[in-house]
Amino acid sequence: MIKYLWPSVKLTLLLVILLGGLYPLFLAGIAKMAPGRGNGIKVMYNGRVVGYENIAQKFSADKYFQPRPSVVDYNAAGSGGSNKSAGNPDYLKIVQERIDTFLVHNPGVKKEDIPAELVTASASGLDPHLTPAAAYIQVPRVAKARSIPADKLKQLIDANAKPAVLGILGVATVNVLKLNIALDDLK
């Protein structure tokens, strides 16, 4: 047994140095070359930081496009999902409450037309993106609240939509924070 102790200690020390020191430093160095220099991409509006590009924010007023629900109430200090299965009665009750709330604020929308992303939280609870379809379904509410023609809002969504990566990976998305900033800029 003593024969194996020293090699085990050496291997442990080597892995601590590699994985606990060098690897994190390597990743931090790579992050410094990324947009935002590893600190997130700040979104500026009227000369001040109003959020970060990859972290959702809560918009509950009818005059704004609303993001996906968040289990962590959009708190970036601790991301997380509900960890409940799709058949869990508590989870189904929460989703039904979200559907009911959505229908109250979006009269004229049928339950079966609501995109799932508007009533289910993302795994992190901080997903800042919606599909264009999830934004389009909110157009009548926002148009009414702001007295803006629906066609103008649809053009705004299209202007802020990003296509799928390479046209095939994923789906087209709209950043809700950037869309709402563009909405506030409409005169």
pLDDT digits (tens, 9 = 90+) for 1-47: 778 888 899 999 999 999 999 999 999 888 888 777 777 788 888 88
Supply angle C-alpha 180, 185, 119, rounded to 5. 10
Flag whether pLDDT at 174 surpasses 90: yes
| Averaged pLDDT, 102-124 | 91
* Torsion angles phi and psi, residue 104, rounded to 5: -65, -40
- Structural element, H or E, at residue 112: none
- What pLDDT shows up at residue 146? 94
Q: Dig out the tokens for 34 from the structure.
A: 């990324």
Q: Would you place residue 131 in the very low, low, confident or very high pLDDT band (cuts 50, 70, 90)?
A: very high
- What pLDDT shows up at residue 47? 83
Instruction: State the pTM of this model.
Output: 0.79
The pairing of strands 129-130 and 161-162 is unpaired
DSSP 8-state secondary structure symbol assigned to residue 78: S
